[in-house]
C-alpha cells in the first residue's frame, strides 16, 4: 500500500507531547503547530467525515495548561531552529514547506468548548511574544457553535490582537443536509448566526468539506442553498475573505464517506465564485486503499 501524503497524516501525538503536535498543512502552505484542547475526544459534533475514532478513549481527560505551554514553547523553538526537521517524520519535508505559519487551536473536538478557552489563547499568545514570533498567526479551527458564549467572544478578541485568524466550518446549506453530515443537536441557524456576528467583527475564513455519502455527491439544490447561506452572511455585513472548498483528505471513521474527485471540487469552487463573488480555493482529496 502506498504511503499517505504527509498532509493526510495528522496524528495528535508527537514525541512525548500530549497536547501540541506539528503538522505540515496544505491549507496554510507550511508548518502548523497544533494545540489539542480536546484530548478527551469529546465534541458537540459527530461529523461523518471526522477521522477521530471516538470508540477509543482519549489518553487524558483534561488539558494541563502549564504542561501544554511547555510543549508549545519547545515545539516552536524546535521549528524555528530547524531541529524539528531532523525528526524522521519531518526530515523529508521540502524547504518550501518548512515555513512556520501558525499556531492552530484544533484537535480531537471543538476547541471553543474548552471552559478556559480565552485563558489558553492568552497564555499561548504570551509564549509567541516571548519567542519573538509576532508575525506567526494564531488560527482557530472551529465549528462556530460556541461563538455566542462570553468567554469565547473574549478569546476571539485576544486572537484579533495577536495576528489571529478564524476558520469557521460550514458544510451545508440546508438543515436536513447539515444534520446528516454533522450529527449534532446544534441547529444550522445557530451556526449561521454565530458566523455572521463574528464576521461582522473581523474577516473570517469559511472552511467547507463536501464528500460522497454512500456514493452520492451533494446535489445542485444543496450546493445552491449553501451559496445562498454565504450570500446571506455577506448581506448582513459579514466579511468573508476566503472560502476553502475541501474534500476528504484523511481517512474517516465512517467507511461510507469518500472523497470527491478533483473535477467535482473544482466545480463547487466555480459555483461559489459565480453565485457569491467570493474568493474560493480548492483543496483536493486522497483515495484510501482498503
**Is a pLDDT exceeding 50 seen at residue 288?**
yes
Average pLDDT on 172-182 reads 97
Strands (E), the chain: 20-25, 30-36, 100-106, 137-142, 164-169, 204-209, 212-213, 240-246, 257-258, 280-283
Instruction: Look up the pTM and report it.
Output: 0.90
Give the bridge partners for 31, in sequence order. 24, 100
What local confidence, expressed as pLDDT, does residue 52 receive?
85
What local confidence, expressed as pLDDT, does residue 63 receive?
86
Confidence at 42, pLDDT banded by 50, 70, 90? confident
What separation, in Å, do the N-terminal and C-terminal C-alpha atoms of the chain show? 9
**More confident site: 10 or 182:** 182
The model's pLDDT over 55-77, given as tens digits with 9 standing for 90+, comes to 665 566 678 999 999 999 999 99
**Is a pLDDT exceeding 60 seen at residue 11?**
no
**More confident site: 13 or 99:** 99
User: For the purposes of burial, counting CB atoms within 10 Å of the CB of 142, is it exposed (0-12), middle (13-18) or buried (19 or more)?
Assistant: buried
Nearest to 40 by CA among 59, 55, 53, 21: 59
State which fold the 6-283 domain adopts.
Answer: TIM Barrel (3.20.20)
Average pLDDT on 208-236 reads 98
Amino acid at each position: 500500500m502506498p504511503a499517505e501524503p504527509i498532509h493526510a497524516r495528522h496524528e495528535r501525538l508527537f514525541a512525548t507531547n500530549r497536547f501540541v503536535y506539528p503538522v505540515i498543512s496544505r491549507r496554510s502552505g507550511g508548518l502548523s503547530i497544533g494545540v489539542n484542547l480536546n484530548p478527551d475526544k469529546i465534541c458537540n459534533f459527530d461529523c461523518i467525515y471526522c477521522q477521530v475514532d471516538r470508540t477509543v478513549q482519549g489518553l487524558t481527560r483534561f488539558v494541563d495548561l502549564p504542561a501544554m505551554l511547555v510543549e508549545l514553547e519547545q515545539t516552536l523553538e524546535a521549528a524555528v531552529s530547524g531541529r524539528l526537521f531532523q525528526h524522521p517524520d519531518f526530515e523529508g519535508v521540502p524547504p518550501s514547506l518548512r515555513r512556520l505559519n501558525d499556531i492552530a487551536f484544533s484537535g480531537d473536538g471543538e476547541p471553543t468548548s474548552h471552559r478556559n478557552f480565552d485563558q489558553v489563547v492568552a497564555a499561548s499568545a504570551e509564549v509567541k511574544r516571548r519567542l519573538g514570533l509576532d508575525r506567526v498567526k494564531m488560527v482557530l479551527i472551529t465549528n462556530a457553535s460556541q461563538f455566542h458564549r462570553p468567554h469565547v467572544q473574549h478569546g476571539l478578541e485576544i486572537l484579533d490582537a495577536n495576528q489571529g485568524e478564524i476558520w469557521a466550518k460550514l458544510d451545508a446549506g440546508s438543515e436536513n443536509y447539515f444534520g446528516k453530515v454533522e450529527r449534532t443537536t446544534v441547529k444550522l441557524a445557530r451556526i449561521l448566526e454565530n458566523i455572521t456576528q463574528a464576521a461582522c467583527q473581523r474577516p473570517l475564513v469559511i472552511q467547507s468539506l463536501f464528500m460522497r455519502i454512500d456514493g452520492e455527491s451533494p446535489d445542485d439544490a444543496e450546493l445552491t442553498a449553501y451559496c445562498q447561506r454565504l450570500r446571506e452572511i455577506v448581506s448582513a455585513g459579514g466579511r468573508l475573505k476566503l472560502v476553502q472548498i475541501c474534500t476528504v483528505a484523511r481517512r474517516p471513521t465512517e467507511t461510507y464517506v469518500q472523497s470527491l474527485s478533483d473535477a467535482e471540487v473544482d466545480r463547487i469552487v466555480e459555483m461559489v465564485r459565480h453565485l457569491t463573488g467570493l474568493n474560493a480555493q480548492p483543496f483536493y482529496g486522497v483515495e484510501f486503499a482498503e
